[in-house]
Amino acid sequence: MSAPVVVIGDALLDRDVVGRVERLAPDAPVPVLDAQEERLRPGGAALSATLAARDGRTVTLITALGRDSAGDALRAALAEAGVEVVDLGLAGTTPEKIRLRHSGRSLMRVDRGGSTGGLVKPASAAARAAVGWASAVLVSDYGRGVAAEPGLRAALAALEPSHPVAWDPHPRGPAPPPAVTVATPNEDEVAHAVREPEGRGLDHAAERARRLRDRWKAMALCMTRAADGALLLRGEGPPLAVPAPPVTGGDPCGAGDRFASRLAGALADGASIEDGVVAAVGAASAFVAAGGAAGLAERATSPDPRAAGADGTAEVVRVRAAGGTVVATGGCFDLLHAGHVRTLEAARRLGDCLVVCLNSDASVRRLKGVGRPLVPQDDRAAVLAALGCVDQVVIFDEDTPERVLDEIRPHVWAKGGDYESTPLPEERVLRRWGGSAVILPFIEGHSTTRLIEEAADRA
């Protein structure tokens, strides 16, 4: 179990109405959504808490819920996620965000509820004490009052400077107390709070972020920049620019909550702010690619892995929905060489997206013996993902990728020519959905084993 985290903030209920659009309304040029199902999930600070719990953490959420059906649904969802809730009570109705969705995309969002006369009760002694018990605190402010509660702010202000606090602000919410570890506004929020200097360049954005950090007296400020990653300002030196991995398609809903929850978790585990930001950018990018917040519910409720792309990749979902061909291939890819690249490029030309099923470190050791792999699985995955012909990398632990293939359900499974005339163990699972196996031409003279042997001889 990873280090515990306390999340403070406003909980929302996200409600997705999912259906199909096949016609326009006769009385107006607007699409008609034939609703097929409704999916409920935690939103706001409740989403941050749920994501932290999914990371294997003990999570306490200090929030305020209304005594209504939306509040009851949130309580049930948080209990299912394993999140302990300290409920201050909401005098009004629980806020809801309703999205009308078709083919994995939102057509419209409707907000309702959230009218409030404030919190029902102040933070209890137990709630204030919980702030100090956790290894890190995340304030996920949605501008509805919880982050401004005097008792909680006093508990935060009383923490030692070494106690990690990540503050995810909201334009309608209060400024963080002085000396929080890191504040995480997005670029638009920084521009709204600090008007000068005007301009759109990186230097202008960094200077606005620096001024906001100084105004808030935060130890560090990390300005998130959507697909451009994040900019961390700490001390007086140049900012640390953390680029985001490229993402095709996907859904950015909830990406800020994924960023903040992963950053708070990294700080709880003792990571530096810099390492935490790098981990958070990677986690947020993967979250967007996997379909964002909606992807959590879609993967949980879809009865057919082909319908929602059980591997969670938005690109597989998009290609399949558009009637395209999903191709998969697999291997160890230890010491990636030109033969690997040419085989991957050939596989990609067979369809509209390519998923690489990558043997984990343990799987490689069983197949290749002690001393392999030379390159750890995360590094091998990063190199593969950087190739233009690769759309997704999925790591598996078994000796063969049959389980992960059953989740992805590709139309085509492609293997290198060194498997020619050898029955493929994957063919059995491919038959379940009518997938095909093909062999790609063998490229002579390229072998990881030969490269290792030559390197050893020269050494």
Instruction: For residue 141, give the nearest of 99, 186, 101 by alpha carbon.
Output: 186
2-292 and 306-458 in the same fold? no
What pLDDT score was predicted for residue 243?
Answer: 86
Q: What are phi and psi of 29, to 5 degrees?
A: -80, 60
Distance (Å, whole) CA 164 – CA 340 = 44
> According to the model, what pLDDT value does residue 215 have?
94
Say if CB 113 and CB 93 are below 8 A apart. Answer: yes
The crossing angle, in degrees rounded to 10, of helices 273-289 and 314-321 is: 10
Residue ranges of domains in the chain? 2-292, 306-458
Q: How far apart are the first and last CA of the chain?
A: 43
Q: Which residues contact 426 (CB under 8 A, 6 or more apart)?
A: 400, 401, 402, 405, 413, 437
Give me 270's structure tokens.
Answer: 């003792």
Please report the pLDDT score of residue 263 as a whole number: 93
Active-site residue list: 257
Q: Cα-Cα-Cα-Cα dihedral of 295, 289, 166, 205, to 10°?
A: -140
The per-residue pLDDT for 304 is 33
CA–CA distance, 352 with 55 (Å, rounded to integer): 32
Beta carbons of 276 and 267 less than 8 angstroms apart = yes
* Spatial contact of 390 and 349, defined as CB atoms under 8 Å apart: no
- According to DSSP H, which parts of 290-395 are helical? 292-301, 305-308, 314-321, 338-348, 361-368, 377-385
**Residues in Cβ contact with 430 at an 8 Å cutoff, skipping those fewer than 6 apart:** 405, 413, 436, 437
Assess contact for 231 and 206: CB atoms under 8 A: yes
Element (H, E) at 43: strand 31-44
* Tokens encoding 52: 């932290």
Write out the H or E segment, with its range, that includes residue 419: none
| β-bridge mates for residue 439, sequence order | 415
In this prediction, residue 1 carries a pLDDT of 53
Domain 2-292 has CATH 3.40.1190.20: yes
Q: How far apart are CA 22 and CA 390, in angstroms?
A: 33
Longest dimension (CA), the chain: 78
Task: Identify the architecture of domain 306-458 in CATH.
Answer: 3-Layer(aba) Sandwich (3.40)
Q: Which parts of the chain sit beneath pLDDT 70?
A: 1, 115-117, 297-314, 417-423, 442-459
Written in H, E and C, the secondary structure of 164-204 is CEEEECCCCCCCCCCCCCEECCEHHHHHHHCCCCCCCCHHH
Q: How many residues does the chain have?
A: 459
